[in-house]
Amino acid sequence: MEIALLYVAGAVLLGLAGIGVGVGVGVLGARFLEGIARQPELLPMLRTQFFIVMGLVDAIPIIGVAIALYIMFAVVGG
Amino acid sequence: MASDAQTTTEYIKHHLQNLTYGQHADGSWGVAHGAAEAKAMGFWAIHLDTMFWSVLLGALFLWGFRKAAKRASAQTPNGFLNFVEWIVEFVDDNVRGSFSHKNDIVAPLALTLFVWVLLMNTMDLVPVDWIPQIAQLMGIEYMKVVPTTDPNATFGMALGVFVLTLFYSIKVKGLGGFAAELTMQPFQAKNPILKILFVPANFFLEFVSLISKPISLSLRLFGNLFAGEMIFILIALLFSGGAVLAVAGGVLQWAWAVFHILIVLLQAFIFMTLTIVYLEMAHSQH
């Protein structure tokens, strides 16, 4: 029972992280493309800012992924 | 895989264990054998592998850049010199872009953090078993080669940045100015009684945002690199599963390494940018 709960916890972590980062990067990418379409000459500046913000958005889900994998492979097995 | 006798769990745990030096339960000082012993050492223990690799890479950065700086001349520069010049210009552009006050320490600090974090992150691209195996042949039980996958290293750097932000906040705005910044916003009022009533709420909000800066700075770097390392370790497990899985593991290892280059660069860049932004916030008056 407890091991099953750990697997569920890992799965929930992975799933919620995926939903969050999907919405986040989706909105970010849409606005990025809109910005380029409006003012193509701003592309270099926008690209830098895009990557900064993407790194910020990306960080929390990737931490979630790491913890989920750790739970599934190291905690459950041990 | 280290050996057939190990289970996958042991393999993962072995890879996530630092070489810890500290005081044993019986009072003697030495290197811990195993996670339980390392945990029993408590606060006054040091991760030898993290210290070794971070100091080594820091020294490599200083030596390489010093060499390039000494050779710099008006003649046509060669390969490495070009590379160093490109990095310095890149950092300089970023500092000029987001830091608008006069402070000589910010650009060198940003350069150091960027190149140092980048070098430490790059250790992640070395296949996970190579250096630990060599270390094992030399008799060293645990070896974690990527310093940024150790929260101690990232927290150390973030604390350094935090101390600098506090120092410049107080130096630029004065102790009173800094205290006012912590207590007089975001809720503002003209009425003096109302102003005092707002102090606890303001202080709570501003204090949380002040403390969250170094924590998020360090956890972001640690989390990204830890996740990358974790996936490398899980892929490396495939090598023990027969020829077909080993080939698949090799391809996956390569693919993840290529993708990971983006994270390695991006996280070093973000660490540098956020450091500049925090110092800029410390300098700006309200």
CATH of the domain at A70: 1.20.20.10
- On whether any CB of chain B is under 8 Å from the CB of A7, the answer is no
- Interchain CB distance below 8 Å, B269 and A65: no
Q: How far apart are CA B227 and CA A68, in angstroms?
A: 10
Count of CB pairs separated by less than 8 Å, A with B: 53
Of B7, B8, B273, the CB nearest to A52: B273
- On whether any CB of chain B is under 8 Å from the CB of A74, the answer is yes
Residue B1 has pLDDT above 50, yes or no: no
- Interchain CB distance below 8 Å, A62 and B223: yes
- On whether any CB of chain B is under 8 Å from the CB of A42, the answer is no
DSSP bridge partners of B21: B31, B46
Q: Following DSSP, what letter does each residue of chain A receive, concatenated?
A: -HHHHHHHHHHHHHHHHHHHHHHHHHHHHHHHHHHHHH-GGGHHHHHHHHHHHHHHHHHHHHHHHHHHHHIIIIITT-
Residue B196 has pLDDT above 80, yes or no: yes
Q: How far apart are CA B221 and CA B139, in angstroms?
A: 31
Residue B284 has pLDDT above 90, yes or no: no
Binning pLDDT at 50, 70 and 90, where does residue B19 land? confident
Residue B4 has pLDDT above 80, yes or no: no
Sort out which chain A residues have CB atoms less than 8 A from B266's CB and list them.
Answer: 51, 54-55
Give the domain range for residue A55. 2-75
Residues of A marked as catalytic = 58
- Interchain CB distance below 8 Å, A59 and B273: no
Shortest Cα–Cα distance, B70 to chain A (Å):
31
Of A60, A63, A74, the CB nearest to B12: A74
> pTM of this prediction?
0.84
Residue pair B112/B88 in contact (Cβ under 8 Å)? The answer is: no
- Interchain CB distance below 8 Å, A77 and B266: no
Residues B101-124 have a mean pLDDT of 92
Q: What percent of chain B has pLDDT over 90?
A: 24
Residue A8 has pLDDT above 50, yes or no: yes
Of A55, A66, A77, the CB nearest to B226: A66
Per-residue pLDDT tens over the stretch B201-244: 888 888 888 888 898 889 889 888 988 888 888 888 888 778 88
Please give the pLDDT value at position B177. 85
What's chain B's average pLDDT? 86
Residues B50-68 have a mean pLDDT of 92
Residue in chain B closest to A78 (alpha carbons) equals: B9
ipTM: 0.71
Residue pair B261/B125 in contact (Cβ under 8 Å)? The answer is: yes
- Interchain CB distance below 8 Å, A55 and B13: no
Task: Kindly tell me the burial class for residue A56, based on how many C-beta atoms sit within 10 Å of its own C-beta (0-12, 13-18, 19 or more).
Answer: middle
Domain count, chain A: 1
Shortest Cα–Cα distance, B284 to chain A (Å):
21
- Interchain CB distance below 8 Å, B227 and A56: no
Residues of B marked as catalytic = 216, 220, 224
